[in-house]
Amino acid sequence: MESKYSEISKNIQEEAKKLLSQGKVERIIGFGRGVFTGEITPIFVTEPERAEELLFTPECDMMLAKYLLDYKGSKTGIVAKPCDTRAITVYLAEELIKREDIFIIGINDCEGLEENDACEECGVRNPVVVDLEIGQPREEEIEVEIADELEDMSPEERFEYFQKEFSRCIRCYACREACFVCACDECFVDSNQPQWVGSSIGKRDNFTFHLMRAMHMAGRCINCGACEIACPEGINMRALTKHLYRAARDVFQFEPGLNPEEKTLFATYRLDDSEQGFLD
Amino acid sequence: MAKPVMVIGGGIAGIQAAFDLGEMGVPVYLVENSPSLGGRMAQLDKTFPTNDCSTCILAPKISDCYNHEMVTTYTYTDVLDIQGKEGDFKVRVRKNPRYVIEDACTGCGECIEKCPVKVLDEYNEGLVKRKGIYKYYDQGVPNVVTIDPEHCLKLNKDRCGICEKICDKKAIDYKQKPEETELSVAAVIYAAGYDAFQGEMVGEYGYLRHPNVITSLEYERYLSASGPTEGHIQRITDGEEAKKIAFIHCAGSRDVRTDCNYCSAVCCMYSIKQALVTREHSEAIEAIDLYYMDVRAYGKGFERYYNTAEATKGVNFRRSRVARVEEDSDTRQIIVKGLDEEGRFSEEKYDLVVLGVGLKPNSQVTEMMKRLKIRVNKYGFAATDELDPLATSCKGIFTCGVAAGPKDIPESVIEASGAAAQAAIIARRDGESPKEKEKEKKEISYRFVDNEPVRIGVFVCHCGNNIGGVVDVPRVTEQSEHLPFVEHSEEIKYLCSPDNLEMIGDRIKEKNLNRVVVASCTPRTHETLFRQAVAWGGLNPYLLVMTNIRDQNSWVHREEKEKATRKALDLIKGAVAKAKKTRALERSRVDKLNKGFVIGGGVSGMTAALQLADIGFPVVLVEKENELGGNANKLLFTPEGRPASRIVEELREKVLANDFIETFTGYSVSKVDGYVGNFKLTLDPEKGKEGSQKEIEGGVVVVATGAAELETEEYLGGQHEKVLSQLQLEEKIREKSIPEDLNRVFMIQCVGSREEPREYCSRICCNQAVSNAIYLKERYPEMDITILYRDIRTYGYYEDNYRKARQLGVKFVRFDLEEKPVVEDKNGKIKISYRDPVVGVEKEEEADLLVLSKAIVARENSDVLSKQLKVPLNEDGFFLEAHVKLMPVDFATDGVYLCGLAHGPKNLSESISQARAAAGRAAVVLVREYLLTEAMVAEIDPDLCMSCRNCIEVCPYQAIDISEWTGKAEVNKILCKGCGSCASVCRPHAADLHGFSNQEIVEEMEAIFADREPAPLKGEGL
Amino acid sequence: MTAKEDFEPKILAFLCNWCSYAAADLAGSSRMQYPPQIRVIRVPCSGRIDPFLLIRAFNSGADGILVSGCHPGDCHYLDGNYYARRRFLMLKELMQYAGIAEERVNFTWCSASEGKRFAAIVERVVNRIKEVGPWEGFDGRGFARREEEMASGE
């Protein structure tokens, strides 16, 4: 196991060095060691000499794709797990970044991260878009199910469950910082014209915030789990977004981050879209 | 100022003509003899082939027209006489007494409820009763009542008088007399519509004899949610749910016995529509049978609609003549006895039989035309020339819509725009030059209020008893005064009366108000009026917020006065809160250029160019080929059988001689920049053409790029010298190279049409084949001609040709798509095998000549122009107009118009009408000195925009683009229509809509629920 | 807690200007009677309605919402209601999953000639919401309903 990761790391380092020294990219976004022991942090490598700082370990759970938005217009390489490539695909679909500006070093046959429950629900184990593949792609598809842990609850029970969960929210917005979808210059929680939701911590506004957040993510969230890992209160952050993911998939056959040519969920429609639940 | 034009008839055609003229700056008198605008379309439930709700699409058009500053509407008015000549007509009209003062009546309808008299309701085809004082229909415009002089007790017996007593506005006047007026106009447009056939004309269908036999127009009312049964489909005799329904096509049309030999052109489609809508209405319906001869689904999108119907479970098409209609006296069911093409009899029982009655000329109009010596055709419709299809025989008098023959709504609208364009030429020619200085003077500058603290004035209307009788207006007014930022509140008996409108202006000045809230009736009808009042007070008119406490409150909660009062207060709270955030809005001016582009130099393009030039604008005409003329260069005949070449030649000469038209043949458009009013087109010479690239600027673009004949090898097309297309046959006839020894000629219809991948009818080929057959038969009577067809679609008057061809001995043999004829080359000889369904035998015969009616297909490179102009194509590759029913020559993108074959298959005459229409619509932009944006448009904050382009995707008007300067999305205000789709798809809320901003809506909502604060905490800490 | 039969819900309705608002006006001019518990906000198009507004309505204390646009195909702005339909369906999914009674979240279409339908829809929606009782807020604490003050004219 250990050797597999060091193999990947070695490959990344070699390729990165080549890319940087040949001037194919201006920088490479990847994972490296942080200041604390064992800490893994995003690093930005611009000199070929520093390429060996790049690492890949089972702890590399951050989504790096978001950093691409900071380097629009200059050629940037990125070390990307399959989920990162889905995030990149979402960006490409909205033309937030240009394909020619990025160089994707994609990691094949992702086994998922132990820390992240979302990985168990992920069927995308090879990069969706890639320029250079690290490792052998996984050939056989894997059967996964995007679980619904609250399935057996009645609506009232779910309501109470969410009340309890969201009551713990301290509105620190770590979820937002971790999420690649959250790329607005001004977050709706900070808007005061209008004020969409009260900013103080309280059950009412917390619940409202989480509903709005989920709606905001719909059609873009890829169920990567970054928000849940980031949440210091251990709130079940994915329950709502995951449900909308399932709904979009089942009702509209739409799954974000798989096809850069596909318009986002709410920017398109079909004449025969479902009207389930509408009053006839 | 241009001279006025009169439009006779206030149906959809008249409304379109009047509106277009008004938009071209021409004053219009719109005269309608019924009490309301709307005509036949207002009676319809849904429209084919989109199943659009008729009222939904018509009502905004009516109010735009009625409220247009250039349009004066005379309803309930008859035209008595027209004298004079083009440019100088005197029209005598008689305004009939409504016995109601139109300016005073608010349309509240209190009198209607109290009126004791009941009369058959003509709007509902006499199926229900209305009162003696009535509105023609609920949404009717103008919104005033009318007293029926035949039945009113007061007028006839000097009894009753309740309406006068009940009307607070003193709007009833039993002493009104007819008023005759003479109006001077430069031109007249007849848009007087049609009479529907009455079922009694065709005795064998049992109309009137059997109650369960009804006409299609009656059925339309039954289908309507606002009709006599509120959309329930039931037997007339006992109100039981109807389970089996038959539709009989051509009831009265295509019928020598009724003297209406023509095809009414719309009945096939509306019958299909009614069948489909019926199916949707009720699952309980067991069978819907359509009895027909040919299904004439020849218009754009019709074939698909027909195929949908055919595939719909429970909808059955029966190709069968109806021989007899009888009633089962026990069950009151209707027995339909049919005879199919193979001579088999059938007998079925139905709960309801709907007669697809045809359109016949409006008898009053026919009479009048005869009196005025305007030529009418043998059927009584206005006679027109196919090459000048909108002009009557009297110069300066035009016609559009069904007045000149049966046609559907989009064609009527096309003709209306075309006739308006032609009338505008006369009106503008003889008018004085516009006095722009006077206009400038009228412009008001508004007080700048952005820096002022908000001071709101609330005006609550009693509307007599309409609001005041239910809502406690004094209490609401008093409480409004205590709302935040409210400086003044006031209750008024009738806020819309002229003196009170003036009063609003006075109060604004007196109290230094800078926002106005009006709580009264519906903003849909009164917002314009109250905005004007606000403007009189020196305030920007968009600083008004209206809330509806009548139509959506007092009228619908009559028994719940307290609750209605609370609701009114809530609504006012909401309006006040919204007003707080409302900002002054401007309709900004955008400069524009005067020149028009026409792309495509066929008959459509040339006609459009000439029309635009005649209205007074320079035109750039671009044609890809080296010669003007397009498809018509290959045509032998016009649809009515005149030689085509001379006509094309004449048009070409006119174009080339016109100083206003600059023609570029051998050029095509390589690039389009800009938008309405300010386009820049780059023209490149075609290969082999000498010349340099041109960059030309102009204000509008008319697309007239035509279409092509399908190239196909089916039936040995292009493979054998004895197999020709209809166009090739015409070429041979023209060259006089038809061999003399042709004995046996076959024609095959629908080659490449009406089947995958072209699920549409090519429309012109039936008449083309029939005309060519007649030509041959008249010259070579011995020639044996057989036309193999699927349905003969000689719509309208072309039915005459079909009949003539049969009389001349042309044989017509039908085939099904599943059993197409087989054509083989046997040692150089053409063998055709087909099945004759009438005798039921397979035949194999030799043809000396086989003529194929090949499909009309879209130009291959249409997609290039489509992308350049940002206008869409439909699934068949033809250009797609903004609305198939009511905007048939406009694109959703402003400033780009469409005509001719580029829009879809149509004949020469129809292309000419549409070209005139496109030019007319384009002229609406060109006549203006400058363009005005809408006030309530979207705006995108570049600081928040993340350039994700979702707004660009959802904008239906192509109004948003990424700015070259900022890299952020930007709204082009001149193209934006204010739907707000961008605002709700925008994730960072960078896009917002003026007048309905996020902030305004949130404030409104918050205020409505301001009384619902969270309950106090119990024991919990903060 | 208020007894269900006495419960006076307050329901927020968003109606598009061209079809549904016109239908509501038609219900008025035809004097159809329907329950007075709805408060209408007029918007140009159902496509204008940001789902945030609807979530926010519950935050403000609405017992339920009703959104009505033009029937699919009839949109005055060509296709605004098609985009709206997707958003509404997703919002409905979200609210339902979060445990908000589905009776509170209502979407429908009304054409300009369907005054009768509009009245019937309002009646149906009001009954649905009465059935599930007052909305107690996301915190479950309920709202002080201060309507009684009004009656006294204060």
In C, which residues are within 8 Å of A162 by CB distance?
Answer: 98-99
Of C18, C24, C57, the CB nearest to B552: C24
Q: Tell me what pLDDT residue A85 has.
A: 97
> Does residue A87 sit within a domain?
yes
* Chain B: residue whose CA lies nearest to A90: B948
Q: Determine which helix (DSSP H) or strand (DSSP E) holds B661, and give its type and residue range.
A: strand B661-665
A55 DSSP β-pair partners: A31
Inter-chain Cβ pairs, chain A and chain B, closer than 8 A: 49
Measured CA to CA, the distance from residue A77 to residue A72 in angstroms comes to: 12
Question: What residues does B245 pair with on adjacent strands?
Answer: B288, B352
Q: Which range, of A119-123, A236-240, B632-636, B970-974, averages the lowest pLDDT? A: B632-636
pLDDT at B567: 97
Query: Which residue in chain A has the smallest CA separation from B1004?
Result: A194
- Span C73-82, average pLDDT: 92
Q: Across the interface, which of A96, A204, A266 has its CB nearest the CB of B946?
A: A96
Does residue A50 lie within any of the structural domains? yes
Judge residue B465's burial from the number of C-beta atoms within 10 Å of its C-beta, 0-12 exposed, 13-18 middle, 19 or more buried.
middle
Q: Is the pLDDT of residue B235 over 70?
A: yes
Structure-block tokens of residue B152 = 């009113």
- State the amino acid at position A24 in one-letter form: K
B1005:C145 CB<8 A: no
| Cβ under 8 Å to C: B residues 873-892 | 882-883, 892
**Of the residues A74, A104, A134, the one at which a domain ends:** A134
For residues C51 and B431, the model is more confident at: C51
Q: Which of B478, B550, B1002 sits opposite C56 (nearest CB)?
A: B1002
Over the stretch A15-57, which tens digit does the pLDDT of each residue have? 999 999 999 999 999 999 988 888 899 999 999 999 999 999 8
Domain boundary among A134, A164, A188: A134
CB contact under 8 A, C44 and B569: no
B1014 and chain A in contact, CB less than 8 A: yes
Residue A177 shares a structural domain with residue A79: no
**CB-based contact, B1017 to chain C, within 8 Å:** yes
Q: Would an 8 Å CB–CB cutoff place C89 in contact with chain A?
A: yes
Chain B partners within 8 Å of C66 (Cβ): none
Same domain, yes or no: A116 and A210: no
Domain boundary among A134, A164, A185: A134
Average pLDDT score over residue span A215-223: 96
Q: What is the pLDDT of residue B50?
A: 84
Residues of A in contact with B989 (CB under 8 A): 186, 188, 191
Residues 6+ apart with CB under 8 A from B489: B457, B458, B459, B460, B477, B478, B480, B481
Rounded to whole angstroms, the Cα distance separating A129 from A122 reads 16
Q: What is the pLDDT of residue C147?
A: 54
Q: Is residue A211 domain-shared with residue A126, that is, in the same domain?
A: no
User: Is A273 within the bounds of a domain?
Assistant: no
CA distance B939 to B599: 33
Same domain, A51 and A98: yes
* Average pLDDT, integer, range C41-49: 97
Residues A34 and A118 in one domain: yes
**Which residue from C28, C43, C52 is facing B980, i.e. has the nearest CB?**
C43
Q: How many CB atoms lie within 10 A of CB B781?
A: 9
Provide, as residue numbers in chain A, all residues whose Cβ is less than 8 Å from the Cβ of B231: none
Q: What pLDDT, on the 0 to 100 scale, is given for residue B497?
A: 86
Q: What is the mean pLDDT of residues C46-68?
A: 97
CA distance B906 to B910: 6
Q: What is the pLDDT of residues B345-375, one digit of tens each?
A: 999 999 999 999 989 898 888 999 998 899 9
Residue A38 and residue A127 share a domain: yes
Q: What is the DSSP string of B317-348?
A: EEEEEEEEEEE-TTT--EEEEEEETTS-EEEE
Neighboring chain C residues of B571 at a CB cutoff of 8 Å: 39-40
Which of B193-202, B280-289, B477-486 shows the highest mean pLDDT? B477-486
Q: Which of B281, B947, B948 to mutate to test the interface with A (most CBs of A within 10 A)?
A: B948
Determine, yes or no, domain membership for A149: no
In a domain, A128, yes or no: yes
Q: Do residue A215 and residue A103 come from a single domain?
A: no
* Domain regions of chain C by residue span: 11-151
Q: Does A168 touch chain C (CB under 8 A)?
A: no
* A86 within a domain of the structure (yes/no): yes
Residues A251 and A174 grouped into a single domain: yes
Q: Are residues A160 and A91 in the same domain?
A: no
Q: Which of B524, B571, B1004 sits opposite C25 (nearest CB)?
A: B524
Q: ipTM for the complex?
A: 0.96
Inter-chain touch C140–A203, beta carbons under 8 Å: yes
Q: What is the pLDDT of residue B436?
A: 44
pTM of the model: 0.88
**Contacts for B734 with CB less than 8 Å, ≥ 6 apart:** B636, B645
pLDDT, residue B29, reads 98
Q: Does B999 touch chain A (CB under 8 A)?
A: yes
Phi, psi (5° rounding) for residue B97?
-75, 125
The predicted pLDDT at position B440 comes to 47
User: By the CB < 8 Å criterion, does B280 face chain C?
Assistant: no
**Chain A contact for B953, CB < 8 A?**
yes
Q: Tell me the chain C residues in contact with residue A155 when contact means C-beta distances shorter than 8 Å.
A: 96, 99-102
Confidence check: pLDDT of C153 > 60: no
Provide the pLDDT for residue B1022.
40
Work out the average pLDDT over C36-41.
98
pLDDT at B788 over 90: yes
Contact A188 B949 (CB under 8 A): no
Q: Does C121 touch chain A (CB under 8 A)?
A: yes
What is the band of B804 on the pLDDT scale with cuts at 50, 70, 90? very high
CA distance B890 to B896: 7
Q: Which of C59, C79, C90 sits opposite A248 (nearest CB)?
A: C90
SS3 category, B275: helix
Instruction: Answer yes or no: is pLDDT of B253 > 90.
Output: no
Q: How far is CA B7 from CA B27, B32, B605, in A?
A: 11, 9, 27
Min Cα–Cα distance to chain A from C153, Å? 31
Residue C127: count of CB within 10 angstroms of its CB: 12
What confidence tens digit (pLDDT) does each residue in A184-204 have?
989 999 998 899 999 888 999
- Give yes or no for a contact between B704 and B600, defined as CB atoms under 8 angstroms apart: yes
Report whether pLDDT(B430) > 70: no
The reported pLDDT for the residue numbered B1021 is: 41
- Token reading at B205: 């269908």
Specify whether A34 is located in the same domain as A99: yes
User: In C, residues 18-37, which contact B (CB 8 Å cutoff)?
Assistant: 18-19, 21-22, 24-37
Q: Is A266 on the interface with B (CB under 8 A)?
A: yes
Q: At residue B708, does pLDDT exceed 50?
A: yes
B vs C, Cβ pairs < 8 A, gives 228
The alpha-carbon gap from B672 to the nearest alpha carbon of chain A, in Å, equals 24
Residue B735 predicted with pLDDT over 90: no
Q: To the nearest whole percent, how much of chain B has pLDDT over 90?
A: 83
Q: Which of C94, C124, C135 to mutate to test the interface with A (most CBs of A within 10 A)?
A: C94
pLDDT attached to residue B81: 95
* pLDDT score of B439 more than 60: no
Q: How far apart are CA B611 and CA B658, in angstroms?
A: 11
Provide the CATH number for the domain formed by C11-151 in this structure.
3.40.50
Q: Identify whether A72 is part of a domain.
A: yes
Q: pLDDT at position A3, please?
A: 77
Among B948, B1003, B1022, select the one facing A96 at the smallest CB separation: B948
Minimal C-alpha gap between C105 and chain B (Å): 16
Determine the pLDDT at residue A138: 92
Q: Render pLDDT for A49-98 as a digit per residue (tens, 0 to 9).
A: 999 999 998 888 889 999 999 999 899 999 999 999 999 999 999 999 99
**Does B888 score more than 60 pLDDT?**
yes
Best probe of the B interface among C113, C121, C136, by most B CBs < 10 A, is: C113
pLDDT band at A273 (very low <50, low <70, confident <90, very high): very high
User: Between vectors from CA B980 to CA B978 and to CA B986, what angle results, nearest 5°?
Assistant: 140
Neighboring chain A residues of C60 at a CB cutoff of 8 Å: none
Of the given ranges (A141-145, B207-211, B436-440, B517-521), which has the lowest mean pLDDT? B436-440
Mean pLDDT, chain B, integer: 93
pLDDT of residue B1020: 44
pLDDT of amino acid B437: 40
In the predicted model, what is the mean pLDDT of chain A? 93
- What residue numbers bound the domain in which A174 lies? 155-267
Q: Are residues A223 and A130 in the same domain?
A: no
pLDDT of residue B688: 86
pLDDT digits (tens, 9 = 90+) for B600-627: 999 999 999 999 999 999 999 999 999 9
C29: closest CA of chain A, how far (Å):
24
Residue range B308-348, pLDDT digits in tens: 999 999 999 999 989 889 999 999 999 999 999 888 999 99
C55 CB near a chain A CB, below 8 Å?
yes
B709 Cβ contact list (under 8 Å, min separation 6): B631, B725, B727, B854, B855, B856, B857
C95 neighbourhood in chain A, CB within 8 Å: 211
Mean pLDDT, range B963-986, rounded to an integer: 96
pLDDT for the residue numbered A97 = 95
B556 and C115: CB-CB below 8 Å? Answer: no
Residue B268 has pLDDT above 50, yes or no: yes
In whole angstroms, what is the distance from residue B489 CA to residue B493 CA?
14
Q: Give the count of domains, chain A.
A: 2
**Statement: residue A167 has pLDDT above 90:** yes
Give yes or no: residues A68 and A104 share one domain.
Answer: yes
Q: Determine whether the interchain pair B987/A194 forms a contact, defined as Cβ–Cβ distance below 8 Å.
A: no
Within a domain: residue A95? yes
pLDDT at A2: 62
Q: What is the pLDDT of residues B52-87, one digit of tens each?
A: 888 888 988 999 999 999 999 999 999 999 999 999
Which residues in chain C are contacts of B566 at CB distance < 8 A?
A: 36, 147, 150
In Å, how far is A47's CA from the nearest CA of chain C?
46
